Amino acid sequence: MNSSYDFDAPVNWRSTGSDKWDSVAEGVIPLWVADMDFVSPPELTGVLSARASLPFYGYNKRRPAYLEAIAAWYRNQYGVSVDTEDILPGPGTVPSLGMAVRAFTKSGDGVLVMTPVYTPFFRVIRESGRKVVEAPMELDGGGRFVFDRAALERAASAAGGTIPLALFCSPHNPGGRVWAKEEIQSLLDFAQKRNMIVAADEIHGDFVYGGSFASGGSSVSGGGGPGFVSTASFPGYAGNVITVSGANKSFNLGGLHASHMVVRDKTLKAKLRSVLSTGAHHDPDIFAELAVETCYTKCAEWFAGLRLYIRKNLEAAAVFLNAIPGIKTWVPGGTYLLWADARGLIEKTGCENDGELVRRLEEEAKVKITGGSMYGKPGEGFVRINAASPRSLLMEGLGRLEAWAKNKP
């Protein structure tokens, strides 16, 4: 491992335009939005600085190496063979999901989601004039969200009307669940039988800790759970799935607004291209394209070190939080987000709900986390904590939470 990668280096992104940092008051430690607090890979900053020094920022022609880098990442990281012709550049993960909603549904249609789930899923559905159809999941004794085919059938039947699309989060945000091959195949089989399309958000797919990356495999290699299984590894369901992902989470490129979609079916591809064109989106800008290509071809070693560091963060944070009366959490199989049951702490501190808890923590303890109710009804009483920060900053934030909780009757 390259010893020059120092993930312990202190950071402070205040007054940089950072949503994570500049949306909170001075002195508040932000452990909320899923943005990382690490310096970008030196390989990336060097390439971008060199390109910025060239005084020409006109229209750019797509570089073949851009799509080739994405295909190589799928091959090397997930064991999935993807043709560059099946990769569509997008304007970001959430906008791409919104485009899928508009491409495959019409006004008034239902869109299935398994809750709790990443909040923008609700937004892109409702703002497109579609209806959210919720299939609530359950939390098992090990802190894992689970769903079954029967629950999906009940939700779809109860909603009535047309449900041409499901939005699927893999790995799961906010719960950190890494879905096994059998679970994904069950979902795709359900979709195929109902003539439904699954748009899978796999933006956290590189952050998996339990097993190996494997194409369609659920075997464990020295961990505690399955490796990441991409929906792109199920060619038999090509007419029912699009895979939405990008380098944004792995390399903290959210501000560059780049994503990609893997779409093997010609009909689905044509519909998405039409919506992309209508939205005037064609290719990533100069810096986004170059950043993605560089990260996928030159920064794998940096990312391997980062993932190991974050896994240790998650383990340390889980131990710390589980020692606080009223909180119960688990080390997630994927993502860099901790999902914690705070119902006991809410009751102990006299808070009405998780919304009041996180508000008081921000105002009184000077640490900002995210309330679980925003992810749907099954998230009520839970909180989400971002562990992708230098360990000293993360533990200081959790220490503030602990001190606040101890001082309450």
Task: Give the pLDDT confidence of 197-213 residue by residue, as tens digits.
Answer: 999 999 999 999 964 33
Task: Give the pLDDT confidence of 355-403 residue by residue, as tens digits.
Answer: 999 999 999 999 999 999 999 999 999 999 999 999 999 999 999 999 9
Which listed CATH number (3.90.110.10, 3.40.640.10, 3.40.630.30, 1.10.3720.10) goes with 64-298?
Answer: 3.40.640.10
Which listed CATH number (3.20.20.20, 1.10.3720.10, 3.90.1150.10, 3.30.470.20) goes with 19-41+301-406?
Answer: 3.90.1150.10
Looking at residues 310-314, what average pLDDT do you find?
Answer: 97
Per-residue DSSP letter, 76: I
pLDDT above 70: percentage of residues in the chain: 94
CA dist 391 → 20, 36, 299, 367, 384 (Å): 17, 12, 22, 15, 17
Choose among 131, 333, 144: nearest CA to 225: 333
At residue 5, the 3 state secondary structure works out as: coil
Task: Give the pLDDT confidence of 322-350 residue by residue, as tens digits.
Answer: 999 999 999 999 999 999 999 999 999 99
> Rounded CA gap, 342 and 329, in Å?
9
Looking at residues 103-109, what average pLDDT do you find?
Answer: 96
pLDDT higher than threshold 50 for residue 222 = no
With beta carbons less than 8 A apart as the criterion, state whether 344 and 326 touch.
yes
Domain boundaries of the chain, sorted by first residue: 19-41+301-406, 64-298
Task: Give the pLDDT confidence of 115-161 residue by residue, as tens digits.
Answer: 999 999 999 999 999 999 999 999 998 889 998 889 899 999 988 88
* pTM exceeds 0.85 for this model: yes
pLDDT higher than threshold 90 for residue 4 = no
Task: Give the pLDDT confidence of 47-96 residue by residue, as tens digits.
Answer: 999 999 999 999 988 889 999 999 999 999 999 999 999 999 999 999 99
